[in-house]
Structure 1
Amino acid sequence: MQYRREIDGLRAVAVLPVILFHAGFSVFSGGYVGVDVFFVISGYLITSILIAELEQGNFSIARFYERRARRILPALFVVMFACLPFAYMWMLPSQLKDFAQSLVAVVFFASNVLFWREDGYFAAAAELKPLLHTWSLAVEEQYYLLFPIFLLVLWRFGRQRVFWSVVAVAVLSLLLAEWGWRNKPSANFYLAPTRAWELLAGSICAFMTVGRAQRSSNVLSALGLALIVFAIFAYNDSTPFPSVYTLVPVVGTALVILFAAQDTWVARLLSLRGFVGIGLISYSAYLWHQPLFAFARLRSLTEPSHVLMAALAAASLLLAWATWYWVEQAFRKRANPLLVTRRSVFAASGAIGAVFVAVGLVGHVGKGFEWRLTGEQQAILLRGQPVSYGCEQMRGCMMGDANGDFSGIAFVGDSHMGRYAYLLNEQMAEQNLNAMLVSKGWCAPLLYWRSSVIERCGGENAEEFERAFEELLSDKDVKIVVLAAEWGMYTTGYRHGSEAIAYDFTFDEMKNASVSENPRQFNLALARTITDLREAGKEIIIVGPVPEYKFDVPYAALRLSMLGSHDFTNYLQQREEYERRNADVFKAFEVSDVGDRYIDVWSIMCGSQTCSPFTVDGFPLYNDDNHLVREGMQHVVDEIMRRLM
């Protein structure tokens, strides 16, 4: 097919926003749409070649896959090899295990499936995955595996029928994506069935151009480029993707392909030497940028500066040029390329791929080479493990000395109470006493309180929890009820990393459909719960909210140790942040006159103005971002027992 400089220029328009988006420059909030531009271009170029060969009668599946191997694998393997030593030096065992799995997935072009099963693309943890970006290569290669066969089988029915078949499949894929972002957003983002329509959009462009004169329109080609630029700056991580919103950059790319003839303004702009040069190295630039950014973030205790990320973005272009010149060109030169024969290409690809698979399997089985860790680092992992009393039933659950006297105490709450129960169980047993426990994750110790989300104490779980709580009211042997929870989650509707939801006070039979109503609903539920407990003759003790963090505490502790740092400054929580998170909780406690029945966790765990999630020697007090481990809860549980006894 005839070379079009403006298509290489369009590649530059695609790759630069992707790089700057991943570098953290917020102005390029929709820079990820560059991948969608790549999809359309790729579908166009490959389908153009396939149509030309099918019409000439010299199409070969083996030759097609040889070209793909020469194009994709050499640069990819070089980048993967470059990642290995840095992953070994800087990644935590859990991260290195995940990285090892990604090595295997990349070799089989299945990394999109792997990353779908892990965190979402826009999650903070995704920024630390050096091979995250290979999901798009996997989508393309899955497409290339099936599409040539699809064309070959249908070509006998004529080009026109094949064209309309491609259109029909593209429409179905778009409709599936529109359903997917509403129902299965992560799968929708990563998997080929909901991305195929973007590649097929390029294929449709190929059917409309191969064998026909190039169309020319200044207006339509300029509109196309404007649509791409609009999406780059207007979209963000809350834009449903892929969906009908994706039509903007996809249609924009198609308009440039179809109407940017050499005499148009857009073609002249995109054919400038700078655009074409970056376009030629765009594949290698795409490969290099994510590992550079991920390892920079892994190596730094804080988010790297914009200056550093800009320098790494520039470095990705320099490395891309070197890789394009010394690697890509070496395997794709028509005259005397490396690995001359098709058999040698496939054999070398298989052998090198097998090495990566072996390394990946060893890393997976070896649990990220945990033996790399020092004794201190292994202790951090051990002391950062979750603890819980482990009684799963919500009714009839007792703790302490099974043969001891009943203390008259009942402990009620969500998973935070479940953590306290671990140590309360020991202390009750030491005094030959036992106590009742009603605890379930996401279940606030409130009567007439419900979530519409089943996983967050909704449905049968909520009903069972409420029945168990109500039984305490009528149990005359229960004299004291201790309430503990992640209180702030129920007024705000979320914890760090989770989506906010509405909770409902069901006693007034008025459905709460808005997260903004959570504080009022919480106030009503707390007041009603305390009233019912007091009318039943129960004394009440309320354990205040635990300071929560926006990062995984054991991970941060291990990272600090591996980097040889004991500077906790960037991990301290300010009191004003704690009070802001729990402002509506404290207002509700004040309205309900909790008074001296309240245990102030901040004053027990923290200083006057700051709180550390670590011990003074760097061990974690939490097993995640909000659940305490034994050392973290020790003084809080001591205070609970002091109040009780």
Structure 2
Amino acid sequence: MNYRSDIDGLRTIAVFLVIFNHVGFSFFTGGFVGVDVFFVISGFLITSIIHPRIQQKTFSFAWFISRRIKRLMPVLFVIIFITMGIFTLVMLPQDLVKFYKSIIWVVFYAGNIFFWKEHGGYFDGGSQEAPLLHTWSLAVEEQYYFIWPLLLAAAYRYLGKKVALYASIALCIAATVFSQWGTEVTIGAAYYLLPTRFFELLVGSCLALMWNQLPKANQITSHILSIVGLLLIIVSALVLTEHHSFPGYNALYPVIGTALIIYASSGVVNKLLSLKPMVFSGNISYSLYLWHWPILVFARYTSVDFTLVNQISFILLTYILAILSWRYIEQPFRNFNADSFKAVATKLYIVPSSILIVLIGLGVFFDGYKNRFPTTIVAMEHALHTHTSKSRKACHSPYRNSKNLPEDECIFGENTKNKQQTNVFVFGDSHANHMIPFIKILSGDAGLLGQDYTLDRCLPIFDLKWGSTIHLAEKCKSRNILAENHIQENSFDFVIMAASWPGFNTRRIFNDERLVDNQKIAVLLQLKLTQTIRAIIDSGATPVMFEDIPTLRGKSPKCPIKQKVFNEKLNCEIQHDSNELFNELTTSLKSEFPQLIIISPHKLMCSGNNCLMTLNDIPLYRDEDHLNEIGSALLGRLFLEKNSNPFKSKYSRNINSLSMETIK
């Protein structure tokens, strides 16, 4: 196909939506849809390139991969080397090791898998300090580039041109439905991985396949389609947020919008996109995309404030570096002359990859060069990276393992050989999981054995549908049936319920519908909690409820470390707002069930509403709302210093609530 300057202009829209979102401009809460615009463009252009050759049976996979290497890898390698050098100077040791490992995955076009496994959700706090996080989208595209040409070539060979087109359209529809299903089942994987993103690239590919068969729009229709397309992209960038399920059907807005603009070809929007400034920025969009994120991560990591002046400065710096890398790296290497695929692959891929692997091996061997920091800083960072969800991996399940039964290996205490005498059972969500070290301290002091059985985002309440989707709500309800059966089948002395308890503003509760009325939420929770506690008491156990801890409200869990290393003026205090709904519920439950024990760990960290992120100079958190393993245990020990152990007496008299004395 002939060169389309408007598509380069469309790249400008895409890249700046992403940059404005990442830099923190609040009006583009859905700016991440710029990546979806890129996906459609990539699918369209790549299919436009390979389709004629496949039809003519002249397509060469080696030729195709050579083009991709020359187009993508030189500037990517340069930015990786520069980023690696800079972050080696400033990054904390364990963060640096994780960064080094991510480079390997990025180089082998699997960065999206690494970031999903190691950082979880794309919008999670820890992921925002991964210097190469943004390369997940490059991995998705490259994986598509490996699969799609083979599929298309096979379809043309065995099905013929007409059937191949129909099969591609059918695959696109099926992939869209699958993407929606994926967003309902899992959050992180659906965002990062190719199967749930496949339809976005395939929309562009199908448009390219049908290009010569599609009716050509007249001028008025082109204007209308291009305007509608742009509105779909911009409105989705303004309306969508990180809390919407994505990609799935929500991704159709920017995807269809992009396809409409490409199809319109000569509409008013296409003409605007063909203006020289738009085209130039589109030409350097790849470098813009690669540079912007490491700059923002460096600023965020070293505690630079994201003021308006700084935000604009970050964008200007990104633009300048992008121009330089486009002019002196991208352009020369596009015309790189080599005799064969082997020469291109060796000089532009294998050699720089090998150098990186050697450097990364050294960095990992020397533990992220931890001698750069005092031992106190190393100890602080070590605590921050202790995750109960990892050390108790068999006992804490993601939704995909929700049907797992309680495991004997999840029994903890001094004498775990006699597993028939397990006294304490813990169930709930990840906020129950992060309290296990705290609970271990209490149960160990009382000479009791405990067992934990927790599930991501699942309230420990029987017969309640709870979750971000109906599918997940059903899984949570089924999981709690397994927990209830286990409680009834065993003679536990204590059953502990801990969770990120909902407040009046929580909008995740399901019964047969999503509840938004506060009174209905309170009534439903009151009913189900009453039934749950009664069932626990009927089993012969004493019910225990853990109140939740304060959240960091956007502050980094590394704040106490950064305060010592980068900026002593950093304010690392956090605020605790009482959960009114939880307080109302527990007050009522306590009057009905006097044996109910309520433990409020936040009282150990807080003076009034002001709370600390450290204890004995050790960070307590591992992310925005979870304690690290060492911090949880420290709070458990402090609890015993200030209070009697409720587990030493099955029914603790004179306990209205174990709300501990405030630390002065």
Q: What is the alpha-carbon distance in structure 2 between the residues aligned to residue 438 and residue 493 of structure 1?
A: 32
Number of the residue aligned with 1:142: 143
Structure 2 counterpart of 1:641, one-letter code: S
Contact 2:533–2:543 (CA<8 Å) still a contact in 1? no
> What's the offset of the Cα at 1:441?
5.0
Structure 2 matches for 1:197-596, cutoff 5 A? 197-209=199-211, 215-216=217-218, 217-261=222-266, 264-300=267-303, 304-333=306-335, 337=336, 342-348=341-347, 349-364=349-364, 367-381=367-381, 418-424=436-442, 434=447, 436=448, 440=452, 442=454, 453=475, 458-468=480-490, 472=493, 486=498, 489-490=500-501, 492=503, 517=523, 519-521=525-527, 524=530, 528=534, 545=547, 547-550=549-552, 555-556=557-558, 559-560=561-562, 563-565=565-567, 569-574=571-576, 577-578=577-578, 580=580, 582-584=582-584, 587-588=587-588, 591-592=591-592
CA separation in 1, counterparts of 2:444 and 2:263?
A: 74
Counterpart of 2:6, as a letter, is E
Structure 1 residue identity aligned to 2:452: K
Structure 1 distance, partners of 2:17, 2:26, is 11
Distance 2:47 2:263 in 1: 14
Q: What are the ranges of 5 or more consecutive residues in structure 2 without an aligned counterpart? A: 396-405, 417-422, 466-473, 513-519, 650-664
Aligned residue number for residue 122 of structure 1: 123
Residue 83 of structure 1 aligns with which residue? 83
**Post-superposition CA distance 1:125-169 (Å, at most 9, x none):** 222222112121112112222333334444456543433332233
Kept in 1, the 8 Å contact 2:93–2:378? The answer is no
**What TM-score results when the alignment is normalised by the length of structure 2?**
0.76
| Change beyond 3 A, Cα 1:590–1:305 | farther
Please tell me whether the aligned partners of residues 295 and 318 of structure 2 are also in contact (alpha carbons under 8 angstroms). yes
Structure 2 distance, partners of 1:544, 1:64, is 58
Q: Secondary structure at the match of 2:66?
A: helix
Query: How far did residue 545 of structure 1 move?
Result: 3.6
Question: Quick check: 1:571–1:613 contact (8 Å CA) kept in 2?
Answer: yes
Corresponding position of 2:177? 175
Deviation at residue 523 of structure 1 after TM alignment: 6.1
Q: Shift of the alpha carbon at 1:532? A: 7.3
Aligned-partner SS, 1:2: coil
Q: Would the alpha carbon gap of residues 172 and 383 (structure 1) be closer, same or farther in structure 2, given more than 3 Å must change? A: closer
Q: Look up the equivalent residue of 1:245 and give its one-letter code.
A: N
Aligned equivalents of 2:274, 2:21: Cα separation in 1: 24
Kept after mapping to 1: 8 A contact 2:462/2:528: no
Which amino acid in 2 is paired with 1:272? L
Measure the CA separation in 1 of the matches of 2:5 and 2:83. 32
What is aligned with 2:195? 193
Q: 1:522 to 1:367 in 2, by over 3 A?
A: farther
Deviation of 1:383 after TM superposition, in Å, equals 5.5
How much has 1:172 moved relative to structure 2?
Answer: 2.6
- Cα displacement (A) at 1:207: 2.6
Between the two proteins, the alignment pairs up a number of residues equal to 597
CA distance in 1, matches of 2:544, 2:244: 41
Amino acid at match of 1:280: N
SS at structure 2 position matched to 1:209: coil
The two structures, once aligned, show a CA RMSD in angstroms of: 4.5
**Deviation of the 1:324 alpha carbon:** 0.8
Corresponding letter in the other structure for 1:93: P
Matched letter for residue 162 of structure 2: Q
Distance of 2:627 and 2:239 partners within structure 1: 35
Kindly provide the CA deviation profile for residues 557-595 of structure 1, in whole angstroms up to 9, marking residues without a partner as x.
Answer: 663366255556333334xx1455853355336645969
- Cα distance in 1 for residues equivalent to 2:644 and 2:164: 76
Distance 1:550 1:484, change over 3 A: farther
For residue 325 of structure 1, what is the amino acid of its counterpart?
R
Offset of residue 361 of structure 1: 4.5
CA distance in 2, matches of 1:622, 1:239: 26
1:350 alignment partner, SS class: helix
Q: Secondary structure at the match of 1:440?
A: strand
Q: Distance in 2 between matches of 1:586 and 1:145?
A: 56
Structure 1 unaligned residues grouped into runs of 5+: 403-409, 429-433, 473-480, 505-513
Check conservation: 2:42, 2:204, Cα contact below 8 A.
yes
Partner SS state of residue 210, structure 2: helix
Moved more, 241-250 or 267-276: 241-250
Distance 1:151-1:467 versus aligned 2 partners, 3 A rule: closer
Shift of the 140–418 alpha-carbon distance from structure 1 to 2, 3 Å rule, reads closer
- CA distance in 1 between partners of 2:44 and 2:307 (Å): 38
Given the superposition, is the C-alpha separation of residues 544 and 16 from structure 1 closer, same or farther in structure 2, using an over 3 Å criterion?
A: closer
Query: Which residue pairs with 2:134 in the alignment?
Result: 133
1:440 alignment partner AA:
D
Question: For the Cα contact (< 8 Å) 1:442–1:457, is it kept in 2?
Answer: no
1:34 paired to 2:34: yes
For the 8 Å contact 2:530–2:589, the answer to whether it is kept is no
Q: Is the 8 A contact 2:232 2:253 kept in 1?
A: yes
How many Å separate the matches in 1 of 2:7 and 2:461? 63
Residue identity opposite 1:619 in structure 2:
I
Q: CA deviation at 1:351?
A: 0.7
Preserved contact between residue 545 and residue 598 of structure 2 (Cα < 8 Å): yes
Return closer, same or farther for 1:318/1:210 CA change in 2, 3 Å cut-off. Answer: farther
1:66 corresponds in structure 2 to: 66
Equivalents in 1 of 2:145, 2:33: separation in Å?
A: 21
- What secondary structure, in the 3-state scheme, does the structure 2 residue paired with 1:549 have? coil
Distance 1:267 1:387 in 2: 53
Which whole-Å deviations, capped at 9, do the CAs of 1:235-263 have from their partners, x for residues lacking one? 222333232332222222222222222xx
CA shift at 1:530, angstroms? 11
Cα deviation for residue 282 of structure 1 reads 0.8
Say which is worse superposed, 69-78 or 241-250, in terms of deviation.
241-250
Deviation at 1:45, TM superposition (A): 1.6
Give SS of 2:132's match.
Answer: coil
Q: Which amino acid aligns with 2:85?
A: P
Distance 1:186 1:515, change over 3 A: farther
Letter in 2 for 1:569: N
Instruction: Quote the offset at 1:226 in angstroms.
Output: 2.3
CA offsets 1:303-344 (integer angstroms, 9 cap, x no match) = 6334423321232222111111111111124xxx47676543
The whole-number CA distance in structure 1 between the counterparts of 2:511 and 2:172 is: 40
Offset at 1:549? 3.2
Classify the secondary structure of the residue corresponding to 1:489.
coil
Whole-Å separation in 2 of the counterparts to 1:440 and 1:56: 62
